[in-house]
Structure 1
Amino acid sequence: MRLNSYDDFTPLKEVILGSATDYAQRLRDLSFDMFISDNLTGARGYYPSITDWRPSADRDHRNEPAKLALKERFLDELVEDIEGLGTQIAQLGVTVHRPMALPPSLGEVTAPGWSAPVTPPLNVRDNTLILGDEIIETPPTLRARYFETQFLKPIFMNYFDQGARWTTMPRPMMTDSSFDPDNLPNAAPNIEAPQDPQASPYDVGVEIMIDGANCLRLGRDLIVNISNANHALACDWLERHLQGRFRVHRMHRLTQSHIDSVVIPLRPGTLLIRSERVLDFLPEKLRSWDTIVSPTPEIHDYPQYEDGNPIPASPYIDLNLLSIDENTVLVNDACKTLIHTLEQHHFTVVPVRHRHRRLFGGGFHCFTLDTVRTGAAENYL
């Protein structure tokens, strides 16, 4: 089919599902530390800040990369759960596309000013934004994911051959100076500021950086969460590029980055939200929609890990669900209360296993990139 995706809830026909195969290690560097702090204004979450996670001897060197080995058993279970997700989506009549395999011997990618291990294309929602008939590769916010969309190129090329537009936003140099150093007054709380950023001959100042998961797609309307100068520059670019085709709405400081575990449109007129406080940040016309408030997760709802490694994802990661249509949603089978809540609102819930969602940072929405839905450029707002 031709590329066509304007929203997250009309009937899903084709989707890209990410892969965790050969995800051997995680790079802890400045870009990672600034990215994963928990989000919603006024809430610290269930764990300490990223600064507190680091051993005391390392806290004065927070920008220096550190590689975190990932346990093989957890990786095997993650791969098993993703394959199960793909099977379930296909059984619902959706065509599932998969990325190219990551060669185990690929090693590091080196760019001017930094290097990082190549990570597999797991959370494919982040580095690509599908708007109608256009693929937009977004400028990465994590160095280790700089070339992640390369593993999606055969799929993108197929859609291009069928008439899709295909655009790549400006690629950042991603030196320490690329990241907004003054974001604390303007950012959602708990975001980390660069500590002693190092000068580089490749510095160009604060750059355009944003993830597709910062955005909420509603037909002709695109809502963009802005928490720092990097996001604001990216929104400038989107406004100019999409002028006359989409309306871009700026939403300030709802979270430090992604919003797909905070506000989720389930159908026209209905939102699933993390808490009532979310409404204060939404565009005015969206505040009038019906809302389903998520039950509060408890710490014992999740696997506990012994080694004290950072747990990137919010405790609300299970709101990161995937809609098959306006009545059918895929939800983590561990979330009994959320499933019951959605069923009370007359949704058909398909439970799917996903064990290590907080450790690896991703849910069903993160793992998927919907490329064909039946929806059009509607005026939902």
Structure 2
Amino acid sequence: MHLNSWDEWSPLREVIVGSARNYLSHERELSFDLFFHDNIVNDNEFRTEWYYPRLAVRDDTTPRAVPIKQRYVDELNEDLDGIAGALRSLSVTVLRPMDVHESTTRVSTPAWSAPVVPPLNVRDNTLIVGDEIIETPPMIRSRYFETQLLKPVFQEYFRRGARWTVMPRPFMTDASFDLSYVRDASAGGPTEVIEAPEPSPYDVGHEMMFDAAQCLRLGRDIVANVSTANHALACDWLERHLEGRVRIHRVHRLSDSHIDSMVLALRPGTLLVRSPAVLELLPEALRKWDIIVPPVPQNDNFPRYADDDLVLTSRFIDLNVLSVDPDTVLVNEACPELIRELEAHKFTVVPVRHRHRRLFGGGFHCFTLDTVRDGGPENYLD
């Protein structure tokens, strides 16, 4: 099929499901902790502050690796295969990225070195707008080359006529990052002063850094979350690039970065939101839509982890559902409260197992990239 994806709910025909093969560890360094800082601070009882290592080479191997137990990776891959199987059973064509080869452990740029992260949360670094693939500038160093692992899929869509664009790639030195969100909004604080980030010969100031999962696609409109100068620069680029095709509506600090565990459009006129307060930050036209606010997730919905397991998401991660069509939604089977709430609103719920979403930073929406849906550039906001 030809690439065509404008919204989050119209009938799904083709989708990419991520892979976690050879996922070994999380590496604690500046970009990682800036991205996950809200959850590292608030959702790890044994850690009161986040960690900030310099990029300078030191004798104590600066970045700190947090190993991931192999059992969790094996179970995650089982669950990913289950997600793919559930989608196939709904007549959706499932595509998979290349796996990270076991011999590839790190990548380097002129400014830094980082481990390779598998293409698990494939939503994050690619924005599909109609017939165009837009690779977005990564926010975490270890994910810098992640979209290369989707290249066979992208090349096939390109061969069929899709447009394919790569946004400007950042150097990602310490000076590239706008730290204002952390200074203003963080409940915790760094263990090392960050007023003067480590200088680099490649410093160019704040750069575009922005994930596609900061966007809510609504036909000819995109709602984009902006919390930093990095996000704002990327939105400037998107507005100019998509001018005349798509309207960008900025919302400010709806979350630290991604919004797909804060608000999702399940069908025209219906939003799934974390709380009614979310509406106050959305464009006025969306405030008129019906909202579904599920009960607060219970702790017994989640596995219990040891103190050395790093939790990366809040308990609201399971709001990260995937719509297969305007009436059908994939939901984590471990969330009976959410399932009952959606069924009460006349949705058909397809329960699917997903155990370790808090350790790997993603739910069903994060783990998938819808490439073909039936919908078009409709106007849902006027």
Which string of whole-angstrom CA distances, capped at 9 and with x for unpartnered residues, describes residues 286-345 of structure 1?
000000012101223211111333211121000001100000000000000100000000
Q: How many Å apart are 1:189 and its aligned residue?
A: 4.5
Q: How do 1:22-33 and structure 2 match up within 5 A?
A: 22-33=22-33
Partner of 1:200: 200
Q: How do 1:265-344 and structure 2 match up within 5 A?
A: 265-344=265-344
Q: Normalized against structure 1, the TM-score is what?
A: 0.93
1:266 aligned counterpart, secondary structure: strand
* Structure 1: tracts of 5 or more residues without a match: none
Partner of 1:119: 117
Q: Which one of 68, 83, 106 corresponds to residue 104 of structure 2?
A: 106
- 8 Å Cα contact 1:8-1:266 kept in structure 2: yes
Q: Distance in 2 between matches of 1:188 and 1:264?
A: 23
Partner of 2:58: none
Paired letter, 1:309: D
Q: Distance in 2 between matches of 1:91 and 1:150?
A: 28
Partner of 1:72: 70
Q: How many residues align?
A: 371
Q: Distance in 2 between matches of 1:45 and 1:292?
A: 25
- 8 Å Cα contact 1:16-1:99 kept in structure 2: yes
Q: Confirm whether residue 232 of structure 1 aligns to residue 224 of structure 2.
A: no
Q: Distance in 2 between matches of 1:138 and 1:338?
A: 31
Which string of whole-angstrom CA distances, capped at 9 and with x for unpartnered residues, describes residues 255-299 of structure 1?
000000110100000000000110110000000000001210122
- 8 Å Cα contact 2:20-2:99 kept in structure 1: no
1:366 aligned counterpart, secondary structure: coil
Q: Percent identity among equivalent residues?
A: 60
For the aligned residue pairs, the C-alpha RMSD in angstroms reads 1.8
CA gap of 1:19–1:60, structure 2 versus 1, over 3 A, is closer
- 8 Å Cα contact 1:188-1:254 kept in structure 2: no
Q: How many Å apart are 1:183 and its aligned residue?
A: 3.3
Q: Distance in 2 between matches of 1:191 and 1:245?
A: 41
- 8 Å Cα contact 1:116-1:144 kept in structure 2: yes
Q: How many Å apart are 1:219 and its aligned residue?
A: 0.2
Q: Distance in 1 between matches of 2:109 and 2:187?
A: 29
1:370 aligned counterpart, secondary structure: strand
CA gap of 1:119–1:61, structure 2 versus 1, over 3 A, is closer
Q: How do 1:1-381 and structure 2 match up within 5 A?
A: 1-38=1-38, 46-47=43-44, 52-53=48-49, 61=53, 64-184=62-182, 188-190=185-187, 195=194, 196-381=196-381
- 8 Å Cα contact 2:213-2:258 kept in structure 1: yes
2:117 aligned counterpart, secondary structure: coil
Paired letter, 1:164: A
Which string of whole-angstrom CA distances, capped at 9 and with x for unpartnered residues, describes residues 119-141 of structure 1?
11000000000000000000000
Q: How many Å apart are 1:217 and its aligned residue?
A: 0.2
1:380 aligned counterpart, secondary structure: coil
